[in-house]
Amino acid sequence: MNFDLPEDLLAIKRLAREFAEKEVKPTADADDKAHRFRRDLVQKMGELGFLGCIIPEEYGGNGQGYLAVAILCEEIARVHSSLRIIFAANTLGPGVTIYRYGTEEAKKKYLPGLVSGALIGCFAITEPNAGSDVASMTTKAIRDGDYYILNGSKMWISLAPVADIALVYAYTDPSRRAKGMSAFIVDLNSEGVTIEPIEEKLGNWASPVGAITFENVRVPGENLLGQEGQGFKICMQQLDDTRLASAAGAVGVAQACLDAAVEYANTREQFGQKVGQFQMIQDWIAQMVVEIEAARLLTYRAAFLKDKGVPSTRETSMAKLFAGETASKCADYALRIFSAYGYSEEYPVARYFRDAKYYQIVEGTSNIHKLILAQDALGYRKANRN
């Protein structure tokens, strides 16, 4: 068992760290306060090959794998969590799903743009009354000749206000419940699509979120991914991938909290000594160090298994659950160490605190992942099914 990263992945880590520090960090706080999505940074990431790690070279990617994506997500989120979301929106959501299930024409049409950052993607699962219970969605896509007529609404869709295309899940046969769900590529500039930004949210301010309404939207039949009725299976596979990006992003935010806390504890003085010399501060720092390392190893292991092509839903859920909880815990400890300064906007700790809560909710809440893992352990429903 070798825990050392090979040189090519270490090179990716160095490149991502350099990009994040030089290109993202200088304006991260200003971008966040302005709720400014940086499409130019996304395109620079595309130029560096960051968005093509799972896509083969023939469609513009580089095929470097899931562990490369995890490293990239961690390094970008360490500086600005909002920008990390593009890996789920472009790479592990629409990108991988189109590669797996799209027609050859669809692959050639969409994948190069998603990889380069020329196209911005998103995926639309959640509805006003359908969150963790994916099968309770009501959006429908009814066949009409060479088209599907799409009607319904989606809620809390990351990057919807700036996206060009969406991976949309809808029922083609509602009577069959989960077996009647299908997946589609939808051009968000199509007639009948309305997107309303959700302006007020706790964190990730530079990553826009929106509600999408579909009113008699005509979706070409060739934009169906896979076959009718495969949508639920496709959705679960997609979430298995995007959850890895969330786990890695949570590790990055947690690491940012630790970095900030250590630096502050070694400079701030109270009662005639640096606060880092107080035992209670050291207790918090020690917990952060251990749990971040554990979250990173869980995340890298899940990515490693994905690169091997073996079922890893269980391992991905473990990583997502633990990393999400770790990010929130580390943000809380960092804010306590900074005290009043952490509560202000003078330091980025307040941003880390807001952003960390996101990772307990998206891609399956912490409770959903506990359910997956508990049912697997109890033998009620095995997570890693072929």
Catalytic residues: 363
Strand partners, 147: 144, 220
**In terms of C-beta distances under 8 Å and separation of at least 24 residues, what long-range contacts does 148-151 make, across chains too?**
148/172, 148/184, 148/218, 148/219, 148/221, 148/223, 148/224, 149/216, 149/217, 149/218, 149/219, 150/184, 150/186, 150/192, 150/214, 150/216, 150/217, 150/218, 150/219, 151/214, 151/215, 151/216, 151/217
Contact present, 246 and 365 (Cβ < 8 Å)? no
User: SS3 letters for 120-131?
Assistant: CEEEECCECCEC
Say which residues have a Cβ less than 8 Å from residue 217's Cβ, sequence separation at least 6.
149, 150, 151, 186, 190, 191, 192, 193
Collapsing DSSP to helix, strand or coil, 323 comes out as helix
Cβ neighbours, 10 Å, residue 203: 21
Cβ neighbours, 10 Å, residue 127: 22
Two tokens, residue 235: 């959705």
CA distance 161 to 298: 33
Residue 360's identity, in one-letter code, is Q
CA distance 200 to 209: 9
